[in-house]
Structures are given as C-alpha cells and as structure tokens.
Structure 1
Amino acid sequence: MARQPRIVGIGGTQRPRSSTELLVSSVLDICASHGAHVELFGGERLAALPHFDPYQPERTEGEKELVEAVRRADGIVIASPSYHGGVSGLIKNAIDLLEDLREDERPYFDGRPVGLLVSAAGWQAGGVTLAALRGSSTRCGAGRRRWASRSIRSNRSLSPRTEASATRRLPRNSTPWPSNSPLVASASAGWIDNP
C-alpha cells in the first residue's frame, strides 16, 4: 500500500474561523478526500508562536511542531489575508520560522509542491499580496514555474463546501473580478512543480 501524502496548511488570522482559515481548510478537505494526511496550522496555533528570532536556538513546542510538520510534508498550502497589500505578520512569522529547515537534506520547500491563497477585499490587494507570497515561496526553494492564478467572488461567508465547489467550477486561467465586485479570495490555484 502506498504511503499517504502529507499536506500541511498554514493560514488564518487571529479571528476564529476567518475567511483565510476557511480557504486553507477547504483545500485541505479536498486533499483529505483524495487520501492525503492533512494538518492545519490555523490562526490560533500561529498566533501562539513567538516572534521568530534567528539568534535564539531554543524553540517552543508550537514552533517545533510547525517545523517538523513542514519537514515531513509532501506538499504545502499557505494562505494569508491581504493587509494593506502585504502578507500578514502571522504568516510571515511562520515562513520565517522555516529558516530552521535550511540545513536539511530537503531545505525549506525544496522538492515540495506549494499552493498559495490570499483572501482580500479587492483584486488589486489580493494580487499584490499573492505576488509577495510567491516571492517568499520562491526564495524558500519552491519552483519557479507553472503559477496559475484564479479569483473567487462571493457575497457570503465562506464555507469549506461552497468555496471548494466554486473553485472547481472556475475556468482555467480566469481573470480577476472587476474592482467594484466583492472579492473574497484571489488564489494561486496551480501547484508549483518542484522535482
């Protein structure tokens, strides 16, 4: 029997059940439905992490859990809200912590597909934040090709079932919605090949 792929989701805000956390949970639910072992590092777990300090070698249990989960992961999904066109501090802190993987045989995101999601109030903020996440992921060893961006428009609260089904109905390489339309998420829907 083949080993279950391990997919780690990193995303959320300090607000319980935020749209960002629901987005990453939706992706993990789909992965689990295809037989993957999934683990979510949502807003509550991320908020408990201390600020990353590269000069402090001791790590809390929460920091060790995140680093070890990514170390064992076969794929990673990262979701951030767009705060003033940038990645949230919670997500940036988690990505910075993965510096602890630099000496590994498979450093950072090397050899792992990475999916990126951004929740934003408009396509422009979502696009800028997505570009920032792409930059961080590429610098962490994620592949440099096959990005496919899609946008999801919604007037209601996200639920894993409705957003997952909405994502599957999107046309390939769809363009962002007009700026006057409610936009809940701008998402990089293509996995990065990273052999």
Structure 2
Amino acid sequence: MKQPHIVAIGGTLRASSGTARALEIALAQAESHGARTTLLTGAAIDFPNYEPESALENPVIAAFLATLRDADGIVIGSPGYHGTLSGLVKNALDHVELMRSDDRVYFDGLPVGIIATAAGWQAAVATLGTLRTVAHALRGWPTPMGVAINTLASPNAIHEAEPQIATMVGQIMGFVGRG
C-alpha cells in the first residue's frame, strides 16, 4: 500500500499566520500516522485572480494542481475575514476548477478536514461552515470534526486546539485507510 499523501491548503501571506500554524499541526499529526505531507500556504497559493485561460500558463498554479492531483486527503484552513474565508484561500480553491476534466474531478472521494481561525467565535464558526460548503461543492467529504479556533480566547488558542485537530486528522486517515 502506498504512503498516503495529505495536502494542507490555506493560511495567509503573513509568516506568523495562526492558520498556517494550525495546518502545520494537522500535517504533523498526519505524519505521525505515516503520511507524507505538503503544506501549500502563503506564496504557494498567492495566484492572480482566477482566469481559466491564463491560469494554465502559470508554473506555480501548475505545481499547485499537480500536488492536489497526488493527494489522498486534504486539509483546508482559512482565517475568518468578515465572517467568511479569505480571498487568498477562496482564489486558490477557485483554481481547483482547472481539475474539472480530470479522471478524479476536483476532490471527488477525498476526505477534507476543515480549520477556521478568527478573532472571535462568530467569524470562526461562520468560516468553518462556508469551508464545508466549498468542500462539498468540490466533491470532497468533509470530516465530521471541523475545527473552529477563536484566536482571542487565549494566547495559546492554536496549541489548545491540538486535540480537536488530532481527532480531525484521525478521521482523515481512517477514511484514507478504507480506500
């Protein structure tokens, strides 16, 4: 059996992004289950606005799509901006449309873990719900456990969410193991 590949997408352009830290925790958990992992955050998902005709000419977008095509599971993380996912993450996910003609369309049949971070519960939970909707639209299977993190609740909020992240990653790995 091949080693499962778990890909995390999201974060911000800030080097100290709490969302990116949460995604790193998720990938460390996946590695502890024997997965190989790839983190796509910051510059790795900072694409021009989605435009299908020119997107295929961009080598960074081509590398992004190649990584997603190789994935056995996905984790999507976004900060909550004004009650929903960030433009950076949404634009990256818009580029998944370029996988519409693949043998495995979009994220069809893949488990998708969701992490939302925000400076308050309302935005974190609203962003989590929106990301679930996007995962469904991309034919992915959101895990039962999604992780909403209120970064104002504690200076260590990201670290304190590790048990929930571990549960979510365990669900991803359990799903991958059934494939």
TM range (shorter): 0.7 to 0.9
SS at match of 1:56: helix
Q: Which residue of 2 aligns with 1:12?
A: 11
Listed as ranges, the matches of 1:156-195 within 5 Å are 156-157=155-156, 162-163=159-160, 165-167=162-164, 191=172
Q: Which residue of 1 aligns with 2:145?
A: 148
Q: Flag structure 2 segments of 5+ consecutive residues without an equivalent.
A: none
Q: Distance in 1 between matches of 2:36 and 2:143?
A: 24
For the 8 Å contact 1:12–1:43, the answer to whether it is kept is yes
Rate the CA distance shift 1:129–1:190 in 2: closer, same or farther, 3 A: farther
Please give the per-residue CA displacement for 1:38-82, whole angstroms capped at 9, x wherever unaligned.
Answer: 0010112222x2221023353311101111111110000000000
Q: Distance in 1 between matches of 2:162 and 2:128?
A: 22
Q: Distance in 2 between matches of 1:57 and 1:94?
A: 11
Displacement of 1:111 in angstroms is 1.5
Please give the per-residue CA displacement for 1:133-183, whole angstroms capped at 9, x wherever unaligned.
Answer: 11111011113x763345456522566xx346443798xxxxxxxxxxxxx
Rate the CA distance shift 1:9–1:150 in 2: closer, same or farther, 3 A: closer
Q: Which runs of 4+ in 1 moved over 6 A?
A: none
Paired residues, what number? 174
TM-score, normalisation: structure 1? 0.78
TM-score, normalisation: structure 2? 0.84
Q: Which residue of 2 aligns with 1:44?
A: 43
Q: Distance in 2 between matches of 1:168 and 1:6?
A: 17
Q: Distance in 2 between matches of 1:22 and 1:128?
A: 20
Larger Rg: 1
Match of 2:131 among 130, 133, 136: 133
Displacement of 1:193 in angstroms is 5.8
Please tell me the root mean square deviation across aligned C-alpha atoms, in Å. Answer: 2.8
Q: Which residue of 1 aligns with 2:75?
A: 77
Q: Which residue of 2 aligns with 1:98?
A: 96
For the 8 Å contact 1:115–1:189, the answer to whether it is kept is no
